[in-house]
Amino acid sequence: MAETIRVLISEQKVDQRIEELGKQISADYEGKSIHLICILKGGSFFMCELAKRITVPVSIDFMSVSSYGNATSSSGDIKIKKDLDDPIEGKEVLVVEDIIDSGRTLCYLTDVLKGRGAKSVRLCTLLDKPERREVDVKTDYVGFEIPDEFVVGYGLDYAQKYRALPYIGVVEGI
């Protein structure tokens, strides 16, 4: 059976919610600078759109953390594949992620970043799957809570396919 994509969240709804998150983050960080850490590759689409909507000074960096490979579920084995380019000591850090499901990766990453001396570490995710949570991780900014379905689009992929879809879709037939 060939895979098909069913629209879960339209491009318009995604855009509107990112606008709202940008306003909320700007208000919460008023008078401060914020250092966005984008989790590659999936978070890049979301972070670019979010950064454009934040009105306080923003700097950015990138990390690549893997627990999936080409699978549809986390292996639980977390590896930093690309580390930060610059130190984060004393910075207000906002980790920008495409999706949180088990929570293991972001729990691990939060501990790593706090250990590097960040003034604060908060989490922002476009999508949250709370029913898949295996460890407690506090998400400060959530775009959408979604059901336990395998989603693609807006940076999320299935074996490197479907990242460039302008909406969030569910892969059917895999």
User: Would you please indicate which residues are annotated as catalytic (active-site) residues?
Assistant: 101
* Strand arrangement of the beta sheet that strand 120-128 belongs to: 79-82, 58-66, 34-40, 92-100, 120-128, 141-145
Query: How far is 6 from 31, CA to CA, in rounded Å?
Result: 42
**Residue with token string 């700097």:** 59
* Strand arrangement of the beta sheet that strand 151-152 belongs to: 4-9, 168-172, 151-152
Length, in residues, of the chain: 174
Instruction: Report cis status (omega within 30 of 0) of the bond before 41.
Output: yes
Query: How far is 85 from 156, CA to CA, in rounded Å?
Result: 24
Residues 6+ apart with CB under 8 A from 16: none
DSSP H helical ranges for 1-69:
11-28, 43-52
